[in-house]
Amino acid sequence: MIDLLHEIEDIYATRAHARYGLEDVSQLQHALQAAAHAEAAEAPPALVLAAMLHDVGHMIHKLGHAPAEEGIDDRHEALGAKWLARRLPRAVSEPVRLHVSAKRYLCAVEPGYAENLAPDSVLSLKLQGGPMTAAEAQAFIAQPYATEAIALRRFDEAAKDPQMQTPDAAHFLRHLAAAHIGGGERARFARDGFVVVPDFFSADEVAELDAISRAMGATAAATLARAARESAAPSALAQQEGSLIVVPEAADPRQVCRFEYLLGSDAEFRSLAERRIAPVIAALAGEPYLPFKDKENEKHPGGGAFRPHQDFAAYQSFGPRYNVTAMLSIDAATRANGCLEFASDWKARSDDAAVEARVDGRPLLRFHKGGACNGDVLEEIAARFDWLAVETTPADLVLFDSFVPHRSAPNGTDASRRAMFLTFNAAREGDWYARYYADKRAHFDDPKFHVSTPTAHG
C-alpha cells in the first residue's frame, strides 16, 4: 500500500496539472472534486477512490490532454481500469471501467441528461458510440458495479468547477487501506452480519503475521509449561501485567486453547492492526472503531469445537453495545480442520420466542447461562439455521459482528489451525481495551470469559 500510495502521488504530482479536456480545471482539480462529491454523498471507500482515480487513464497515455478534439477515443476508462485492476480490488477498478458506458446509458434512459453534458463530454460521446440502444442499456444495468458506475458518472459530471475548494489528494488516498469495501460489501455486512474479503493481505503481511503468531504461540506454550512445573493455575500466571493471557484446553491443561492480549503485548502488531484492519471496519460500520479485545485460537489436532453462540453474550457486561471482529487465518481454515461457520439465515428464523433480548434492535438469542454449555445458543434454536462453512486462506480477512451466530467444528486433521480474532468497538463508546483486560486478569475464571469455548469454567 505504501508503494502504491507513492506511485499514485507521483502520477498526480507530475501529470495531473494539464488542462482537463476543454474545461477550465486541471486533471488534478477534476479528480479532487469528483472524490469530494463522492465523499459528500457518503460513498464507500472504494467508490471515493474510484472517483479520485477514474481518469488515471488520461494521465498514463501519451495522446495529449484533449484527444477527442483530434477525433481520437483514448479509451481512458479501459486503460485506467486495467492499471487499477493490477493494484486495487474490483470495487475500485470496475466502476472506472464502466463510467464511460454509464454516460452512454444515462443519455439513453434519463431525459435531459444528454442536453446538460459539457461540450467535451458531447464531443467524446460521439466517439464512444453515442447513447445506448434499449438492448445495450438493459445489458449494462445488469452488470455488477453498474450502479456504482452511474454514481461515479454523476460525480464526474459535477467535478468541473474552477472555483471549488477541496481537500488535497492525501485526504482521499487515506481510503487505500479500506479499498476492498464497496457498496456490495457494506450491503452484505448489514444483511448477514459477516463479510469475507479475499486476498486482503499481501504475501509479506502473511509472513509477518505467521511470525508474530509463532512467537506468541511459543510464549503461550512456555507459560503453560511453567504452570505445570510450578503447579500453578493459569489464572495466577495471568496476573502479570503486559503479558499474554493463556487459556488451556479443558481436556488437556498442558495444551494451549487460546491466548489473549495480542495487541497489548506487541506495539508493532497493534500498529499493523490499526493501520490495516481498523479502517476496513470503519468503512463497513460507517464510523471509527477501537480495539476492544483479541485472541488467537490454536485449535491443535483434536482441538475442541466452539459451539453455536453470539459474541455479545460474552460482551454484554461491558459498555459497548456492538462489536466487530476481524478473523485472520494464520493457517488455512477448512471444513476438515474446523473452519468458522455462520448462521446464514438466522434473523428470518428467529421468532420472538427465540429472542432473549433486543439490543438497539439487534436480537440476542436465548442461550445457556453457566455450566459446560455457558453462552451456547439453545440447541433447538441453533438447529433452525442453515450453517455456512467459510473456508479461508491466510491472505483472506473475515469480518463479523457480535450478533451473528457462529460456530466451528473440532480439528480433525493432524496439523494445527491457528486463527487470530481481533475485536473492535465503536470509538464513540470509549476505549475499553485496558479495562477489559484488567477485569479479565482479576477474574480469570469468571464464566463470562469462557463463553462457548472448550475451556474450563465455573
408-434: per-residue pLDDT in tens?
999 999 998 999 999 999 999 999 999
Strand spans (E) along 409-456: 419-426
Kindly tell me if the per-residue pLDDT of 69 is higher than 60: no
In this prediction, residues 382-408 reach a mean pLDDT of 97
Q: Are 358 and 364 in contact (CB under 8 A)?
A: yes
Q: How many beta carbons lie within 10 A of that of residue 255, not counting itself?
A: 17
Q: What percent of the chain has pLDDT over 90?
A: 68
- Helix, strand, coil: what percent of the chain each, to 5? 45, 15, 40
Q: What is the model's pTM?
A: 0.85
Give residue-wise pLDDT tens across range 287-324: 999 999 999 998 888 776 789 999 999 999 999 999 99
**Residue 62 confidence (pLDDT) above 60:** no
DSSP single-letter state for residue 376 = B
Q: Which residues pair with 364 in a beta bridge?
A: 357
Q: How confident is the model at residue 457 (pLDDT cuts 50, 70, 90)?
A: very low
HSE (CB half, 13 Å, CA atoms) of 313?
27
Q: How far is it, in rounded angstroms, from Cα 243 to Cα 245?
A: 6
Residue 251 reports pLDDT greater than 90: no
Integer Cα distance of 88 and 177 in angstroms = 10
98-113 pLDDT, tens digit per residue, is 999 999 999 999 999 9
State the Cα–Cα distance between residues 87 and 347, nearest whole angstrom. Answer: 37
Q: To 5 degrees, how large is the angle CA 397–CA 416–CA 379?
A: 75
More reliable by pLDDT, 300 or 204: 204
Summarised one tens digit per residue, pLDDT across range 263-276 is 999 999 999 999 99
Q: 150 pLDDT band (50/70/90 cuts)? A: very high
The pLDDT of 165-182, averaged and rounded, is 92
d(C-alpha 72, C-alpha 164), whole Å: 30
Strand partners, 260: 245, 295
Ranking 55-64, 262-271, 381-390, 417-426 by mean pLDDT, the lowest is: 55-64
317 and 327 in contact (C-beta within 8 Å)? no
**H or E stretch including 96?**
helix 90-109
Of residues 429 and 114, more confidently modeled = 429
Contact 264, 216 (CB under 8 A): no
Amino acid identity of 337?
A: N
Q: Is the pLDDT of residue 255 over 90?
A: no
What is the pLDDT, as a whole number, of residue 71? 44
207-223: average pLDDT: 95
Neighbours of 319 (CB within 10 A): 12
Range of weakest confidence among 66-70, 101-105, 163-167, 292-296: 66-70
Query: What's the one-letter identity of residue 443?
Result: H
Band of residue 15 on the pLDDT scale cut at 50, 70, 90: confident
Dist. CA 133–CA 101, nearest whole Å: 12
Q: Which of 433, 402, 407 is nearest to 311 (CA)?
A: 402
Listed in order, strand segments (DSSP E) in 164-234 are 194-197
H/E element holding 188? helix 183-192
User: Confidence band (pLDDT; 50, 70, 90) for 68?
Assistant: very low
- Reported confidence tier of residue 21, pLDDT bands at 50, 70, 90: low
By the 10 Å C-beta count (0-12 exposed, 13-18 middle, 19+ buried), 383 is classed as: exposed
Read off φ and ψ for residue 364, nearest 5 degrees. Answer: -100, 115
Do 281 and 289 touch, CB atoms closer than 8 A?
yes
Question: For 255-261, what is the mean pLDDT?
Answer: 91
- The CA distance from 422 to 211, in Å, is 17
- 291 SS3 class: strand
As a whole number of angstroms, the distance between CA 325 and CA 340 comes to 13
**In the sheet that 340-343 helps form, which strands lie side by side, from edge to edge?**
306-309, 406-408, 340-343, 387-390
Q: pLDDT tens-digit profile of 354-369?
A: 999 999 999 999 999 8
Q: How confident is the model at residue 70 (pLDDT cuts 50, 70, 90)?
A: very low
Structure confidence at residue 24 (pLDDT): 83
pLDDT band at 72 (very low <50, low <70, confident <90, very high): very low
Q: Residue holding cell 501529470?
A: 15
